[in-house]
Structure 1
């Protein structure tokens, strides 16, 4: 595949396919995409806040007239850094998996905006929130629910291009989807792929996520646009799959030995992934695995997890 520069902004992949990248790909710095054929266009995800999304949309409009009013907006999953700019894409049909639509309604931007206001008084967890999300503005973001949902697979068209939406969640979140453009040998993966950064398993099971990686590897694609990090190829997918398999095996050994999830997160060596950002996400990943193995369906203590990540990030 071509060697794509990992620089902020719009990258022309060719034949009406664009990727919008936001280095360094850490918390909130997500990627998006644009698919164009003739005067038709599809936007793949918006960004974490309105200012960032407007900058992206302006750059897309300068690149192609078809981006002036996208016909369709696909949200790959429910995390805010992939959908909280939706209100700026007026008139588009908004498509997501049914599970993603449900999850979007549960975690509105106002919830994080309130948490950020309270963060200075929340101790280490609040300090961590300010560090990772302090560059974003969550005010004024209104919920924009998908106008079309689906389960499994859905085929759409952008002009003469076929676009396949393939549900592979629950994995990163409850309703992750891949956006595959077969004729252009391109797939947008949402947060099934974090390249050069530690993935974070909010939902699981990890086995579903590994299966999603296998599904991408089996595709006839040359260009793979991840949810975070640089454009990649199948080698990048294999690295994410390897990470997920590794932490699952390591965490299981500690689970069987009776260690707590936090003890296991501290004990698992991440030396093989030392160059990847956000190593503290191992806290969430192990917690999700432990909950699966314990059949624990109680509400997740998200603030507690952010506090534990703060502890590891300060080591």
Structure 2
């Protein structure tokens, strides 16, 4: 059953918050409640969005008025920029995610958005992706508890398992699994009806994470972006990763450059997914993996490649 945007009751004290879009910055979140305790899975990209989500949760679930625990599934700001609004909660993330969060704090995003108008095509693309969010009033609020591997939590009488599956999408991706609710919140291990973006890799870790979800006894699978899904949806994400890996490998072995390969790969059945230009990042990460290169490509170069694939072009200079 396809659920509506906003707050959805999964039953038994489990809730899913679904964004209206699966594109850049429009992320999902979740809530697990039982007894006298509650756990929030992720906050949203800015304070306005997070405040609206919390308001809706608190109206529907009284235990959300005093959230005991917040889990950030990974370091991207659309899953943690609203942390300051969950005052008093224990904020948990993987050790790798906590370190990564400090590298692009909200004030840095605010500065980039402010400068984007003078950055040509890449700036226009960046504004199209992120210009609707407000970053200048956010106080960076990092996790105050970290872990590596797995962490067992309790929410009332419900066991909740945190399972680190990164590096994959980012350096420290975490699944939040509530067996009693037969529910898993996947963070950005799953983009449903949207193109995954592999900032980190290796791709094998991401594929393994999909296989782990496929093996779980779950009824509700809440992705980081897009509608609720089932195991068939998880398989589609895994197949995309396998397809792009294999296509990129062929082109790498033939000597083709990463951006040329990204332009050359036929997306076929995946072309209808939102943000297909993310293949530029995915192929670049795969090429790093194939070559053993440790240095990541400059983020503005990656956005320039995506801007080009998305049809954003540098403005023409007027002739004399």
- The bucket for the TM-score relative to the shorter chain is over 0.9
| TM-score (norm: length of structure 1) | 0.98
Runs of 4+ with >4 A deviation? none
Distance in 2 between the 1:8 and 1:163 partners? 25
Cα displacement string for residues 93-138 of structure 1 (whole angstroms, at most 9, x for unaligned residues): 0000000000011110111110001101111110001101111001
Task: Name which of 192, 202, 205 aligns with 2:202.
Answer: 205
- What is the aligned residue count? 312
Cα displacement string for residues 75-102 of structure 1 (whole angstroms, at most 9, x for unaligned residues): 0000000000000000000000000000
**Would you say the 8 A contact 2:168–2:198 is kept in 1?**
yes
2:274 aligned with 1:268: no
Matched with 2:241 is 244
Matched with 1:56 is 53
* CA drift at 1:299: 4.2
Q: What is the correspondence of 1:140-151 to structure 2 with a 5 Å cutoff?
A: 140-151=137-148
Q: What is the correspondence of 1:227-242 to structure 2 with a 5 Å cutoff?
A: 227-242=224-239
**Would you say the 8 A contact 1:29–1:81 is kept in 2?**
yes
Matched with 2:2 is 4
Matched with 1:34 is 31
| TM-score (norm: length of structure 2) | 0.96
Give the 3-state SS of the residue equivalent to 1:68 in structure 2: helix
Q: What is the correspondence of 1:111-260 to structure 2 with a 5 Å cutoff?
A: 111-260=108-257
Matched with 2:278 is 281
Taking only aligned residues, the RMSD between alpha carbons, in angstroms, comes to 0.8
2:13 aligned with 1:16: yes
Matched with 1:88 is 85
* CA drift at 1:300: 2.7
**Would you say the 8 A contact 1:42–1:74 is kept in 2?**
yes
**Would you say the 8 A contact 1:124–1:307 is kept in 2?**
yes
Gaps of 5+ in 2: 313-320
Gaps of 5+ in 1: none
2:104 aligned with 1:107: yes
**Would you say the 8 A contact 1:21–1:230 is kept in 2?**
yes
* CA drift at 1:174: 0.2
